[in-house]
Structure 1
Amino acid sequence: MAEINHFEYGWITPALSYALSVLGSVLGLIFAGRIRAASSAGQRVWWGLLAAWALGGTAIWTMHFMAMLGFAVAGSRIRYDVPVTVASALIAVAAVGIGLAIVGTGRLSVVRVLAGGLFTGLGVAAMHYTGMAAMRLNGQLGYDAVRVGLSVLIAVVAATVALWLAVTVRRGAAIFASALVMGVAVNGMHFTGMSALSVHVHEQRGEVAGAEVGALLIPIVLLVIFGVVGLVYALLAAPTDEDRAAAAYLEARRAPASAVSGQAAIDSPDPVGLRARSTLARPGAPFPSRRDHPPR
């Protein structure tokens, strides 16, 4: 059995993975809080997609990949199957999105939260082990069933708590505190699942196919940067409650003023018939006949 090192670069990778999970959780909780406050189905879908990307893509999947940078196996190089790695990211985003759809629509209930948490937690666990299956090395992977089951249980509990927080937490301090807790839960699930792994290195070493970590690191880092910038921009560009209230107030002020000005124009004297002439001058207006003019 080969020696496994989960922290090849010390505490840099777990610290970065925790920071990413907290950042994604903060953004995801803010977006999820706007799902129920949305006034239309289109807005709910929009905020749901952003929340799914923030939680599933940033808080869970990029955290997983960042933690994997510190994973090393003695006696074998590690590479990754790119399509399977991409599939793991899609699984994470889709699982969170469906979970948010379950708890974010209709009347909130315990059954909805539990069902959404179960589905999302199983999806997160599937993302983790799909990402592990994307590894290519000169050996065979093995898993301890008890620890795998424990990691799945942690994923379900963490997802249930995350969805409940997503639809109940509103204040800034509470959102940040909840994100700190979610970061601990996500990282706890990841490293519990990693502790279940064992590797039996083959004696005859062959060429390992797949992409190296360095080749994937740059595009993933760019994806994280542009993704976070896009999420923050979408949050800042969205109208707030104060903006909507101000717009409604201005519209209410504008409507009576336009009505009064229109009525004043109708009631004003027109001794020479300018208003009638302007009406007749419009395209399509009927041409006056002799009956319309009184005899002289």
Structure 2
Amino acid sequence: MSGQIHHFEYGVITPVLSYALSVLGSVLALTCAVRAREADSTGRRARWIAGASIALGGTAIWTMHFIAMLGFGVEGTTIRYGVPLTVVSLVLAIVSVGIGLSLVGFGRANFVKILGGGLFTGVGVAAMHYTGMAGMQLDGTIRYDPVPVVLSVLIAVVAAIVALWLSVRVRGGWAIAGSALIMGVAVNGMHFTGMTAMRVELHSETVRHTGVTSGTLLVPIVVGVIVGVIGLVYAMLSAPSDEDRAALAYIESRRNAGAAPGPGPADGAGPAPAGPPAGRGRRGVIAAGDAFAPQPPRAPTPGGSGFHGFEPRKKT
């Protein structure tokens, strides 16, 4: 007997949340990709690429997949998830994205690298999706229609090629935000296309499954996403971008220019500053700049009173 499948048991809540997570992860991944291009060493570039892989593969793709699965249900059976295959699907998402980003992130990016990296990453993302679906445990047999499966893989490959191209081309906040919105549509489109291929044939007997419920997995996933997002944001704020460094260099140059002393007459950069105005003394006109200079005392004339210009009166 075929089981009735429901993709939106909680209404629009799960698709909206899954899309928001895919956009958030894409924004973080593209920002990390920009920092990777600006990195001045191989080690720093590798760290930024690793951050982009976690953001895109872990948050934008895998976490989006799991949140969307919260709204998935089959009438007549409960659904549990096997932890080993669920963890494998997470690793597949991060590693496949990391390899694709590394292909275009090191050395000169070209069309062949983007195409090859997108093909590998897209197949890896599709493998993540169907590995996670294989980890589902229910009282039935899961089958897939081949046409939607092939279409979902093609969507994953095209989306991965576009994502890798954006990772080496996009710069600036508005461009990153717009690209993330498009990437979110592609990621969700791949997921729900793959889900339409699914068919469930229910068993007549109920089997006791050893997996965990989606609610049990939800808490560690939410905690992991929060920690990962905070860590990436902190790393971005701690490491200045090229624009930040250029602004700091400009401010420093302006500060140094304001603090430097002006050129003096010995530098030949201009005339000496004007001195005080010319004055008039007992010797007549004094040259400019000497008006306030101390004058040497004049020796008194012999037998005089010490006042120049007057002779003492002789006694008669």
User: What amino acid is the match of 2:28?
Assistant: L
Return the alpha-carbon distance in structure 2 between the equivalents of residues 233 and 53 of structure 1. Answer: 15
**Equivalent residue, structure 1, for 2:55:** 54
Deviation at 1:239, TM superposition (A): 2.1
Q: Secondary structure at the match of 2:171?
A: coil
**Where does 1:1-296 land on structure 2 (aligned, <5 Å)?**
1-241=2-242, 243-245=244-246, 246=248
User: What amino acid is the match of 2:123?
Assistant: L
- Deviation readout 1:8-54 (Å, 9 max, x if unpaired): 10010000000000000001001011222211000110100000001
Identity of aligned pairs, percent? 63
Q: Secondary structure at the match of 1:142?
A: strand
**Equivalent residue, structure 2, for 1:278:** none
Q: Secondary structure at the match of 2:38?
A: coil
Aligned 8 A contact 1:48 1:97 in 2: yes
Query: If you compute each CA radius of gyration, which structure gives the higher value, 1 or 2?
Result: 2
**Equivalent residue, structure 1, for 2:264:** none
Poorly superposed stretches of 4+, deviation over 3 Å: 242-251
Aligned 8 A contact 1:77 1:208 in 2: no
Structure 1 pair 172/244, CA: closer, same or farther in 2 (3 Å)? closer
Aligned 8 A contact 1:21 1:60 in 2: yes
Return the alpha-carbon distance in structure 2 between the equivalents of residues 172 and 78 of structure 1. Answer: 41
User: What amino acid is the match of 1:83?
Assistant: P
Q: CA RMSD in A?
A: 1.7
Q: Secondary structure at the match of 1:209?
A: coil
User: What amino acid is the match of 1:113?
Assistant: I
User: What amino acid is the match of 1:64?
Assistant: H
Aligned 8 A contact 1:102 1:116 in 2: yes
TM-score, normalised via structure 2 length: 0.77
Deviation at 1:92, TM superposition (A): 0.3
- Deviation readout 1:65-114 (Å, 9 max, x if unpaired): 00000000111100000111011011100011000001111112111110
User: What amino acid is the match of 1:136?
Assistant: Q
Return the alpha-carbon distance in structure 2 between the equivalents of residues 72 and 242 of structure 1. Answer: 48
Unaligned runs of at least 5 residues, structure 1: 258-296
Return the alpha-carbon distance in structure 2 between the equivalents of residues 130 and 60 of structure 1. Answer: 13
Q: Secondary structure at the match of 2:36?
A: coil
Unaligned runs of at least 5 residues, structure 2: 261-316
Q: Secondary structure at the match of 2:209?
A: coil
Structure 1 pair 199/113, CA: closer, same or farther in 2 (3 Å)? same
Aligned 8 A contact 1:118 1:159 in 2: yes
- Deviation readout 1:108-164 (Å, 9 max, x if unpaired): 211111001000000100100011011001110000011100000000000000110
Return the alpha-carbon distance in structure 1 between the equivalents of residues 230 and 28 of structure 2. Answer: 11
The structure carrying a bigger helix percent of its residues is: 1
**Equivalent residue, structure 2, for 1:261:** none
TM-score, normalised via structure 1 length: 0.82
Aligned 8 A contact 1:82 1:211 in 2: yes
Aligned 8 A contact 1:103 1:163 in 2: yes
Q: Secondary structure at the match of 2:200?
A: strand
User: What amino acid is the match of 1:80?
Assistant: Y
**Equivalent residue, structure 1, for 2:274:** none
Return the alpha-carbon distance in structure 1 between the equivalents of residues 156 and 73 of structure 2. Answer: 24
Aligned 8 A contact 2:4 2:75 in 1: yes
